[in-house]
A and B are shown apart, each in its own frame.
Chain A
Amino acid sequence: MKLANKTMNIFFIAGLYLTVFLLDIVPGVPPMLLTVLKKGVIFSLVAVSMNLLNGFTGLFSLGQAGFMLMGAYSYAVINISSSLKPVVYQYYSPFFNFSLTEVLGNALGGFGVVLGVTVSMIIAGLVAAFMAFLIGLPVLKLKSDYLAIATLGFAEIVRALIQLEALAPVTNGSQLLRGFPYFRGIFIPFIIVGICIAVIVLLINSTYGRAFKAIRDDEIAAEAMGINLASHKRLAFVISSFFAGVSGALLAMYQTTVQANTFKSAMTYEILLIVVIGGIGSVSGSCIGSFLFIACSEWWLRFLDNSNNNIFGLNILRSGFRMVVFSFVIMIMVLFFRKGIMGEREISSENIVKSVKSLICRIKKGRCNER
């Protein structure tokens, strides 16, 4: 029975990936759908990484945008093709004329490019993780709200520092960076995010993940049972930031450009919204929440921003109105659906079968006993 469930889950995931693959190669798919899938999958990763911290370890951190920014910049800076550098950089300095992917690509051909991109994404994650390691010690001593404020402040500081003129030869100040390799389809981002989330899930279900949950449930008991709070919190923080860094690199590829301005604290709130909508403490919830959120903000609710439309003859729509609606949504969520879509549950073939069965039962008889 247990094995059957496992196989079913594998089929479920394989089916998902097959669909994505087909969407990628079949012509005539609405481009909006592809955009939503591509951006949604990237936000899935960062939402899951935030959930690892906020949902599974109970650390209310709001530094996600900062770590994404570091990942995005790391990826861009080490990969901008050397021929484009003089054009891209306002203060071009030949001293820093190096592109990892280009170097590897020239040496090893197509494989080199793949290797280069992979290695750069890992570097992007490591840079974010290293920063988390450095600030983790002082910051994680703070409790709940103070931790949120400190991490939020950190993210803003990073964003300001990146735009410093002194760093312009590397970061191009507040100008954008472009000319680095990126993916065209949606399949590869799905693969990368899939691997990353799989690793996070493995971690959550390992003895360390259980320790994180113990810290979330009761810190004092966790500490009394021999779990070192400082080192475990730091570990969760570093790992979460690593994946935020990787998703930052992915976002850079999605946008094909990087600019510090996109990584404002509003972005962290969006990720937080996704986590809350999906369910704090549910990985699949974060993924669903992410696709829903991106679909709404990029596609379904776009009409709200268009001042040519009107609702009930009222001309209240204008650019930014979408965000007002979102604020309402989060207020309603927090007031009435505090557990989000998934609560702490996860999607699995078993759960789907169970809920479909109970739905059928309910339709047939009006009521149905459990199991």
Chain B
Amino acid sequence: MNADILHLDNVTMQFGGVVAVNNLTLDVKEHEIVALIGPNGAGKTTAFNAITGVYEPTNGEISFCGKTVVRNHPQGKMKKLYAGLNADKYSGEVLKPTPDMLTKLGMARTFQNIRLWKSQTVFDNVLIAKHMLRTSNVFSATFRLNRQEEKQHREEVSELLKTVGLDDVKDDLATGLPYGKQRRLEIARALATKPKLLLLDEPAAGMNPQETNELTDFIGEIRDRFSLTVLLIEHHMNLVMDISDRIYVLDFGKLIAQGNPNEIQHNEKVIDAYLGVEKNA
């Protein structure tokens, strides 16, 4: 069995009285494609934000590649306000890395509501993601002493754009692209950081069935080509069932089921909470 690349232990995310993610324990093994599904407002995006450092969980622990990267428990005044299961277990040093630190460790993500850099071209959107891998400092970059590296990054970006099929629009403004291509570009941008774990937040949102099928193949392809692990949030059940090795189901912030696609499809709780009510998101 492969090793855990990502492990969440009792991760809880509270906003005042709202418990958006409630004691979520989850693990993702190397080279797996794992899906996180659930009805609207179940807390999926919030879980992503906690994993990638956008939010600081109110309780729990997250490890990535065998190292604890996030840890928190309710302290002081917060104790009254925030519930924390096993809070003592997480009472070690509080770890709250900024998102860029986690990206440097090898996580990269896309966003549910596309967040491309609007004034930049397709090519530059991907090139900027390479900034993280620079060895130059501001002086050497300004005075062009990093030509070698710059050239190499540009070549890698061209290569990547060919791989994802955005080669022909590379000089267009990113926001001028059709929806499906913007989503692909976001994936390309995430890949440019050379991640180990790719987190996709509703990559097929707004896509037609054909585009969705293409995307399904595409995710499998990049997983193999870049030897990635993928954690994805999705409402398109065909895509999820086709592609996932395992599935976690959230409802009202709580994990209600986990298992392989077949198990999930026949799980009554899941059918009640989510699958039974056909969603047209």
Instruction: Output the least CB separation between B115 and chain A (Å).
Output: 4
Closest residue of B by beta carbon distance from A225: B129
A370 at the interface (CB under 8 A from B): no
6 additional A-B residue pairs with CB within 8 Å, beyond A207-B146, A225-B131: A199-B142, A202-B144, A208-B138, A224-B54, A224-B109, A225-B128
A228 at the interface (CB under 8 A from B): yes
Instruction: Output the least CB separation between A138 and chain B (Å).
Output: 17
**A228–B142 contact, CB under 8 A?**
no
Closest residue of A by beta carbon distance from B134: A207
Q: What are 27 of the A-B contact pairs (CB < 8 Å)?
A: A202-B143, A202-B144, A207-B131, A207-B153, A208-B138, A208-B142, A213-B120, A213-B128, A217-B119, A217-B120, A218-B118, A221-B116, A221-B117, A223-B99, A224-B52, A224-B103, A224-B111, A225-B108, A225-B193, A226-B100, A226-B103, A226-B193, A227-B100, A227-B128, A229-B98, A229-B100, A281-B119
**B150–A207 contact, CB under 8 A?**
yes
Residues of chain A lying within 8 A (CB to CB) of residue B119:
213, 216-217, 281, 344
A210 at the interface (CB under 8 A from B): yes
Residues of chain A lying within 8 A (CB to CB) of residue B129:
225-226
**A210–B99 contact, CB under 8 A?**
no
| A217-B136 in contact given A208-B142, A224-B109 (Cβ < 8 Å) | no
| A217-B118 in contact given A207-B141, A225-B132 (Cβ < 8 Å) | yes
**B100–A221 contact, CB under 8 A?**
no
Closest residue of A by beta carbon distance from B111: A221
How many cross-chain pairs have Cβ atoms below 8 Å apart between A and B?
A: 102
> Roughly how many angstroms separate A224 CA and B199 CA in the complex, as a whole number?
11
Counting chain B CB atoms within 10 Å of each CB, which of A202, A206, A211, A225 scores highest? A225
Residues of chain A lying within 8 A (CB to CB) of residue B117:
213-214, 217-218, 221-222
Give the bracket for the number of chain A residues in contact with chain B: 20 to 34
Counting chain A CB atoms within 10 Å of each CB, which of B103, B142, B150, B189 scores highest? B142
Residues of chain B lying within 8 A (CB to CB) of residue A208:
131, 138, 141-142
Tell me if A's interface is mostly helix, strand, loop or mixed: helix
Q: Per-position contact with B for A226-241: 1 when CB-CB < 8 Å, else 0?
A: 1111100001000100
**B138–A220 contact, CB under 8 A?**
no
B interface residue numbers (CB < 8 A to A): 52, 54, 98-101, 103-104, 108-109, 111, 115-120, 124, 127-132, 134, 136, 138, 141-144, 146, 150, 153, 189-190, 192-193
| A206-B189 in contact given A220-B54, A226-B131 (Cβ < 8 Å) | no
Selected contact of A210 from candidates B52, B100, B104, B124, CB within 8 Å: B124
Instruction: Output the least CB separation between B102 and chain A (Å).
Output: 9
A interface residue numbers (CB < 8 A to B): 199, 202-203, 206-208, 210-211, 213-214, 216-218, 220-230, 235, 239, 281, 344
**A223–B98 contact, CB under 8 A?**
yes
**A226–B132 contact, CB under 8 A?**
yes
> Roughly how many angstroms separate A167 CA and B24 CA in the complex, as a whole number?
60
Interface pairs A-B: 8 shortest CB-CB: A226-B132, A226-B103, A217-B117, A221-B115, A206-B141, A223-B99, A225-B129, A203-B142
Instruction: Output the least CB separation between B44 and chain A (Å).
Output: 17
**A206–B128 contact, CB under 8 A?**
no
**B142–A206 contact, CB under 8 A?**
yes
Closest residue of A by beta carbon distance from B127: A210
| A220-B128 in contact given A207-B134, A226-B104 (Cβ < 8 Å) | no
**B131–A211 contact, CB under 8 A?**
yes
Residues of chain B lying within 8 A (CB to CB) of residue A223:
54, 98-100
Residues of chain A lying within 8 A (CB to CB) of residue B52:
224
Instruction: Output the least CB separation between B173 and chain A (Å).
Output: 11
Closest residue of B by beta carbon distance from A231: B100
Instruction: Output the least CB separation between B118 and chain A (Å).
Output: 5
> Roughly how many angstroms separate A356 CA and B138 CA in the complex, as a whole number?
37
